[in-house]
Structure 1
Amino acid sequence: MDKDMKKKDLCAKAGISPASVTKLGRNGHVSTEILLKICTALDCKIEDILEIVPDKELS
């Protein structure tokens, strides 16, 4: 999904820190609260911003 938004704009609209956006970009761990704030700000569903990729070690 592309809302034509810069990272700083997403931070401001969602009320999240730039560090959270950086973690997302690096496949880091973020809380479900952060994901909810992003979905609310972008008016989207969780599956629009999240993809579950099975861990290779669990396969």
Structure 2
Amino acid sequence: MGINYKRLWKLLIDKDMTKTELRKQTEIASSTLSKMSRNEYVSLEVLVRICCALNCELSDIAEIEK
């Protein structure tokens, strides 16, 4: 079981936003964004900051893989 962030990357494309812009707006570390690119776990705090910045829900940016 794991997690993937494909929904986040699609949402960024839909909002015409780069990963760098997201990182700056949410003040998350570039290493955290790299972990997300590799579908690794990040803290819930990071996910909440992303949701607040993009005005979306957790299910809009992450998906549990079985």
Instruction: Specify the alignment match of 1:43 in structure 2.
Output: 55
Aligned mate of 2:42, from 5, 16, 30: 30
Q: Which has the larger radius of gyration?
A: 1
Residues of 2 paired with 1:16 and 1:27: CA distance? 16
Alignment correspondent of 1:8 = 20
The Cα RMSD (Å) is 0.9
Greater share of strand: 2
Alignment correspondent of 2:8:
none
Higher relative contact order (CA 8 A, sep 6+): 2
Q: Which runs of 4+ in 1 moved over 3 A?
A: none
CA deviations over 1:5-54 (Å, ceiling 9, x no partner):
11110011111111111111101110000000100111111000011111
TM-score by length of 1: 0.83
State the aligned residue count.
54
Q: Structure 2: which 5+ residue stretches go unaligned?
A: 1-10
Runs (5+) with no aligned partner, structure 1: 55-59
